[in-house]
Structures are given as C-alpha cells and as structure tokens.
Amino acid sequence: MVCEKMNFPENSLFLVTGGAGFIGSNLCEAILDMGYRVRCLDDFSTGKKENIELCMNNSNFELINGDIKDFETCLNACDGADYVLHQAAWGSVPRSIEMPIFYCENNIMGTLNMLESARQNNVKKFVYASSSSVYGDEVNLPKSEGREGNLLSPYAVSKRTNEEWAKQYSMHYGLDTYGLRYFNVFGRRQDPNGAYAAVIPKFIKQLLRGETPTINGDGKQSRDFTYIENVVEANLKACLAGHNAAGEVYNIAYGGREYLIDIYYVLVDALGIKDNDEKRLEPNFAPDRVGDIKHSNADISKAAKMLNYNPKWDFKRGIKEAIAWYKEDLQIRK
C-alpha cells in the first residue's frame, strides 16, 4: 500500500472530519496502519459506526461525536492536531436542489468553522474534499483546473465556495490549504442504500439481490471513476506537499473515462447475472437527473506535479476489489 512509504513526524495527529463515512473511514484506517494518531469527528448523520469498528480498539484512535456546524466542537477537535483531512459534507446533487439552505449551513459554514478552528490551533496542513461538480457545464475534456463552467447545483456551489474560502485562509492567515476535486470515488464501505446512493454500489447491491437496476439517462454519460486507494494517497500526499502548492485545487482521479452503460455490463458480466431467458440482464432506463454533468474526465497533471500524486488503481483493478468487498459485506448482513 502506497501510504506505507510516506513518513510524517513521530506521534503526528490527524483529524479526519466525517471519519465514519466512506472516504473518511478509509483514511482513518490507512493512517492508523501507518502508526500515527487519528481523531475522528463525525455526527453520524451519514457516517456509520460500523465503518470504524476496526479502529475503535486501536489506542491511537479517538472519536468525537460532534457536528461541524458547531464552532466550539470544531475548535476542540482541532486542538493539538497536526493535519486536518476535512471530508465531512452532505453529498448528492439532486438532494442539494431540494435542500439548498441545509447545504449552505452544513457544507459551507461547516467548512468555514473548520478552517477558522484549524487556523486558531496552528494546524500544519488543511486538506479538504472538493468535487468535480465545480466544473458545471464546461464541456471540454479533460477537465482542467482553472477552466470551470456555470455551476449546476447547490452542492456544486457549496464546493466551489469552499475552495474560495480555503484560498483566503492560505492568502491572509498562513494556513496551508489543499483542495481535492474528487472524481466519482468508489470502493469498500461506500453506501449502496438510499435514493441518492452512488451508482456503482447501488448497482452491485441490486444485482446481487436479483433486482434490475435503473440508469438515469441513456447510459452514454461518462465518468472518471476513481478507486478509494487513489483518494487516500492524494490526501496524504497533500499533507506532505510544500507551501508553494497551498491555496490551490487539484483534480483527484485516475484520468480514465468509463461510460455508464459499459459499467453496468461490466458488473452484470462479473456477477454472472442473467434474465429468465438466460440472456445478459438489460437495465431499466429513466429520465436524466437534474443537475447532473454529462461527461467527466480529469487532467491530473497538476496534482502529479505539485502533490507527487501517482494513482496506481485503474478502474479494472478497483472494480474487481469493490465487487469482492460488496459480495462479502452483503453475505455478512443477510
């Protein structure tokens, strides 16, 4: 695992917000495996205690049950922290359209609370999760930092606003901030449940349960699916980046392009799913989701140059691992 090759000062403390979530729990686990201390801040509104079960028995792990909308909670969580990996946020483009005020309060004000708390506690590095959604209706591929379009959802607005706030904290307050624009992250512990579940775990779960998945749109939309190991690497590489790389945003992806209908068939074939006539099961189709971007593919050259980001997990390797994990997880939960 690439994380094992990274060295931080002895006894370093990493604060992971949203640490009981999909990405956050993988970060917690990786950092603990490296022998460093982890403090997890989560209010369990979307995170799950089962995601951090393996961490709870580690003497280097500390859990704070708290909300990033509360400034005092953020201030206390940052006390003594060397690095902040800020993952806490509410996702989902469609849900943000239904709940714009909540997304402002949680994603924007929550992030501002964390930035200010990190500043007051003299945190060394503040790494935060942004999103490919900030590219909006920009049609050129690959997506490149500095070439953004009109934002298409309140979720995208919240992520873009966070980038501007982080830049201000690097510019005026001396806090080294690094924004990571995630591109369709997938992998172990990603929640397959609910109306707003990410497409890969949702499809896997439905297929394993004998259900026919529904694709929104014609299936010809494309994504730069990014396996979780690459995202863990990016967060830790950002913590090691120099001051000259601070105040910037970086595409975090593999740099590939997969079409949704092809992803569906990859999963069907890998799982051996057939219909009643023993033919490959075809999906259902539904209208496009409002606010969705049609195509997404990342230029990762900036992250490679400034963060030494070198993703090892392509889609083929990642999806094989993800399928194996969900098979085992769903078997356990039967």
Q: Which residue has the higher pLDDT, 196 or 231?
A: 231
**Average pLDDT score over residue span 186-198:** 84
pLDDT at 330 over 70: no
**Mean pLDDT lowest among 17-26, 156-165, 202-211:** 202-211
Place of tokens 């863990």: 232
In angstroms, the Cα distances linking 5 to 61, 154, 236, 254 are 21, 38, 11, 20
1 confidence band (pLDDT: 50, 70, 90): very low
**Closest to 268 measured CA to CA, from 287, 284, 283:** 283
Q: What is the pLDDT of residue 305?
A: 98
Give just the sign of the alpha carbon dihedral 17, 23, 27, 29.
positive
- Cβ burial of 145 (10 Å; 0-12, 13-18, 19+) is buried
The 10 Å Cβ neighbour count of residue 250 is 27
Which position among 128, 135, 155, 227 bears the catalytic label?
A: 155
Q: Which residue has the higher pLDDT, 284 or 194?
A: 284
**Domains located in the chain, CATH noted:** 11-190+226-256+298-313 (3.40.50.720)
**Average pLDDT score over residue span 153-177:** 98
Average pLDDT of the chain, as a whole number: 93
pLDDT, tens digit, for every residue of 243-288?
Answer: 999 999 999 999 988 999 999 999 998 888 877 777 788 999 999 8
pLDDT, tens digit, for every residue of 46-63?
Answer: 999 999 999 999 999 999
Q: Compute the distance between CA of residue 276 and CA of residue 280 in angstroms, rounded to an integer.
A: 9
Name the packing angle between helices 228-239 and 22-33 (round to 10°).
Answer: 60
254 is catalytic: no
For residue 228, give every residue at least 6 positions away whose Cβ sits within 8 Å of its Cβ, in sequence order, or none: 22, 23, 26, 185, 186, 187, 188, 189, 190, 318
Place of tokens 């590939």: 256
The token duo for 314 is 């392509």
